[in-house]
Amino acid sequence: RLRPFNRLQVILQHLKMSKHTDSTAEVLLEKRGGAGIITLNRPKALNALNLSMIQQIYPQIKTWEKDPETFLIIIKGTGGKAFCAGGDIRAITDAGKTGDRLAQDFFREEYMLNNAIGTCKKPYVALIDGITMGGGVGLSVHGHFRVATEKTLFAMPETAIGLFPDVGGGYFLPRLSGRIGYYLALTGFRLKGRDVLKAGIATHFVESEKLPALEKDLIALKSPSTENIADLLNSYHAKSKIDQEKEFVLDEHMEKINSLFSANSMEEIVKKLKQDGSPFAIKQLETINKMSPTSLKMTLRQLREGASMSLQDVLTMEYRLSQACMRGHDFYEGVRAVLIDKDQSPRWKPAALEEVSDEFVNDCFKPLGNNDLKL
């Protein structure tokens, strides 16, 4: 029998070995077959992304990228409800109020992670099963492959909390077909299931219950190329019949979205919606009227500029905007109204689009000197 001391050593050694697959860890990082697997593991918080998770995922991606025995990276969430419902907004709010460094560090390191995903040399497969919003979009949309399921719920709801669709939203949203990206960014409209694919956000659609089999097949691939991975995803995609016949939820509104959301200013968009007067336009007006006027103006400019920028330049611009939001009023008020008191009645300052001056918006986009994000 082991002497007590030896037994303790064995237990400690075992704990060390299983550190990465410890079910209480917020993120699990493991190597299986030729695949590096990232599992977001905060099911009670809908796998919301916090700074410590970012600080574990980033170096691991960089390590796997250099490893000749790692051929692809898979990212997924636990709990069955969410892939990742966003960033840890509560922690950022508290930090911003007290001037804590987290309000700078979180966005800086999150955007560095988004860039690492966008520039990753290994095929990156995001299984976006369940809620995928805000920060969760940043963990998936910049990778090579995004697999949606019938449970996927996608949104960029930031204008409702005095923020803007960050994590590279200024890069991918204006690149979606027509003006869909502008519409999603300004209204926070939610896309479900196959519509996430039809909008061009997901690359594949696979039934949720088939994901474990898909993952197993991905892990079993022998030194696969990007094409081999694509072939496997395509074969699963082709077999998925759920909602195949349903037309895209925005199809009937695309003409209106493309004309109404192509205006150069928020005031003009609102004017066009009022002039249009259709039930669809009136509904969009009601939604837009609830959003932070500052966020709306910031977001429209972010997307218009981001449309012709590299991902790196977009993230640098978005870092400046994030810090402007931390200095401002609406982010704290939006979080209070939506997440803390839940009264859903934010008192925005300024309260009307006309009161948000171009000068103020310009200030939000100004370089931060030594504090700028460097990628």
User: Is the bond preceding residue 59 a cis peptide, omega within 30 degrees?
Assistant: no
Active site residue 87: yes
Known active-site residue 372: no
Three-class HEC string of the chain: CCCHHHHHHHHHHHHHHCHHHCCCCCEEEEEECCEEEEEECCHHHCCCECHHHHHHHHHHHHHHHHCCCCCEEEEEECCCCEEECCECHHHHHHHHHHCCCHHHHHHHHHHHHHHHHHCCCCCEEEEECCEEECHHHHCCCCCCEEEECCCCEEECCHHHHCCCCCCCHHHHHHHCCCCHHHHHHHHCCCEECHHHHHCCCCCEECCHHHHHHHHHHHHHCCCCCHHHHHHHHHHHHHHCCCCCCCCCCCHHHHHHHHHHCCCCCHHHHHHHHHHHCCHHHHHHHHHHHHCCHHHHHHHHHHHHHHCCCCHHHHHHHHHHHHHHHHHCCHHHHHHHHHHHCCCCCCCCCCCCHHHCCHHHHHHHCCCCHHHCCCC
Active-site entry in 88, 129, 166, 318: 166
Catalytic residue among 135, 136, 181, 188: 135
Q: Are 150 and 193 in contact (CB under 8 A)?
A: yes
Active site residue 158: yes
Report the catalytic residues: 87, 135, 158, 166
